[in-house]
Amino acid sequence: MCCFTGLETDRPAGTTLSGGYPFHYAKFITIIEAKNYAGTIEFKPEFNELIQTKEGKQKGIKDPITQVKRQMQHLDFWLRQHHYPSIPLRYFTTISNPTTIIKAPSSYKDALEKVIHVEQINTKLLELDKTKGDVLLNNELMIKIAQQVLAKNETYDKDVLEHYKIERADIITGVCCPECSKPGMKRGYGGWICPVCKKYSDDAHVEAFCEYALLFGSRSTNRQLRAFLGINSREVVAKMMDDLEVKRVGEKKGRVYMLDRLLE
């Protein structure tokens, strides 16, 4: 068995495949997307989202099953692109926090069967290995795939502005309205208010942080984020980072936030 962590390889249209933990068995390859959700998570397949309830607060998260399925499609494309035989692909989403409560409607079989606590993964893989199927991955082929995947492993950290010859001063900053898409939402009443359509949002800043990370890189200071959002309060940005469970490095004025997890 081979295991890789945090892989990024070529996929269609010049983008990258960002994977969790692809496990190779003799009959199949399994992608395991690891999540560290806390509290209670409830799947809402009709909206393609996940509702997390933690310390009395709720927030919506993209459905991780959709994410790992997309990774599986990209891996399948990559294998075919490199002329490998048709290899069955499997997937799981693992929850690393053992106290997290997982809820899903009985009709959502993907969530019931594929979302598990991390302690269950060995049992699930052994169960899959016992199912009928041809042995497609001998040691030589497994090693070849492993070497090629590792050789193609790329970290997405391109300088977008340099690549497209855009000046930093030309970027329109601010929080965009989720209703009318106009930039320049104003902070107030614990959320954001659009001066154009008067739409209120309590989490419009999340998309702005993602845009910042894609444009300027995943490392940022509090001051840089304040300037991008168009607000003055250090405390407000710090609380936003805490609420989003963003990793931070350093202390006080030297503190840097790692925004990469927001792009998952």
| Contact criterion met (CB below 8 Å) for 9 and 153 | yes
- How many whole angstroms separate alpha carbon 257 and alpha carbon 228? 14
Residue 193: what pLDDT?
A: 94
- How many whole angstroms separate alpha carbon 213 and alpha carbon 260? 7
- How many whole angstroms separate alpha carbon 232 and alpha carbon 69? 40
What confidence tens digit (pLDDT) does each residue in 57-82 have? Answer: 998 888 889 888 888 888 888 888 88
What confidence tens digit (pLDDT) does each residue in 162-192 have? Answer: 766 678 888 889 999 988 888 999 998 889 9
- How many whole angstroms separate alpha carbon 19 and alpha carbon 79? 14
pTM: 0.53
Q: Which domains does the chain have, with CATH numbers?
A: 8-152 (no CATH), 160-263 (1.10.10)
Q: In b/e form, how buried is each residue of 72-111, taking b as 16+ CB within 10 angstroms? A: bebbbebbeeeebeebbbbbbbbbeeeebebebeeebebb
